[in-house]
Amino acid sequence: MANHASAEKRNRQRIARTTRNRAVKSAVRTAVKKARSAIQGGDAKAAAAPVKEASKALARAASKGAIPARSASRVTARIQAALAKASQPASK
């Protein structure tokens, strides 16, 4: 238990931040999962929209500090590369 008013306030702030970050991270995971499944689906044009949404969600989460900026950048780059690879015609 917190013994000082400032410690009680910090605890309230911690709980609020944790709840907010958990929601943001969950939304990011869902968006990335949708993008990856769309890429696996094979249709590159149909996968472009979920990839864009995932990139936006990752950038938003990084700007809010919910996830590290480098992690967001890395995941964005990987799903963009997977989309580019899926967009190329299959070689014989």
pLDDT digits (tens, 9 = 90+) for 45-69: 888 999 999 999 999 999 999 999 9
1 burial type by CB count under 10 A (0-12 exposed, 13-18 middle, 19+ buried): exposed
Asked whether the predicted pLDDT for residue 27 surpasses 90, the reply is yes
Tell the residue number behind the tokens 């702030």, with chain if given. Answer: 13
Share of residues in the chain with pLDDT > 90 (%):
82
Contact 47, 33 (CB under 8 A): no
Domains, the chain, ranges and CATH? 5-87 (1.20.58.110)
What's the whole-number average pLDDT of the chain?
Answer: 93
Residue (of 49, 45, 36) closest to 82 by Cα position = 36
Asked whether the predicted pLDDT for residue 92 surpasses 60, the reply is no
Contact 50, 79 (CB under 8 A): no
pTM, two decimal places: 0.84
Cα–Cα distance measured from residue 64 to residue 60, given in angstroms and rounded to the nearest whole number:
6
The residue that leads in pLDDT, 13 or 45, is: 13
